[in-house]
Amino acid sequence: MNYFQVVQVFIRTPGGSIFGRRQHGDKDDDTAVGPCRDFVQFMNDRGGNAKLVEIPGAYHQFDSFYKLAYFGDIENPSQCANTGDPEGKIYTLDKTGKTYPFNSEGFAALRKDCIGRGAHAGGSGIEGVGFDLWTNFLAETLRP
């Protein structure tokens, strides 16, 4: 099984409660963990019950079948965290504060300014860690 770097699930119960779970390797150099922390806080500030699980020693694609390796030529979006404001019709690149039009051309320009190259990816050496975390979360959340 291959569980990718940031896996998330949000469940709304019949009573309206929202439970969320995100899993992220704490050494992931392809997808920054900071925006994930911010998103969980955003959900919880609005009445959700979200949790971020940071898996020690894990990189991108931490529950993969292949061994950890460095891929020097892949796109790396770790510096591309942005805030979209459809009403103001802009994207703001969080790292620099630079703004872009809120359309496909603006998003393409934002990516051009922030995409890097290279990242680590592959198994964390803890076989099934993602699967076990998900199984437990779903059993706890969906149990009657």
In this prediction, residue 10 carries a pLDDT of: 64
Residue type, 36: C
One pLDDT digit (tens) per residue for the chain, 144 residues: 333 344 566 666 666 666 777 788 889 999 888 888 888 898 889 888 888 888 888 888 888 778 899 999 999 999 999 988 878 899 999 999 999 999 999 999 999 999 999 999 988 776 667 777 777 777 777 766
Q: Which of 29, 27, 30, 35 is nearest to 8 (CA)?
A: 35
Q: Note if the pTM is more than 0.75.
A: no
- CA 78/CA 31 separation, integer angstroms: 5
- CA 29/CA 66 separation, integer angstroms: 17
Contacts of 46 (CB under 8 A, 6+ apart): none
Contacts of 76 (CB under 8 A, 6+ apart): 29, 30, 115, 116, 117, 118, 119
Strands (E), 26-63: 49-55
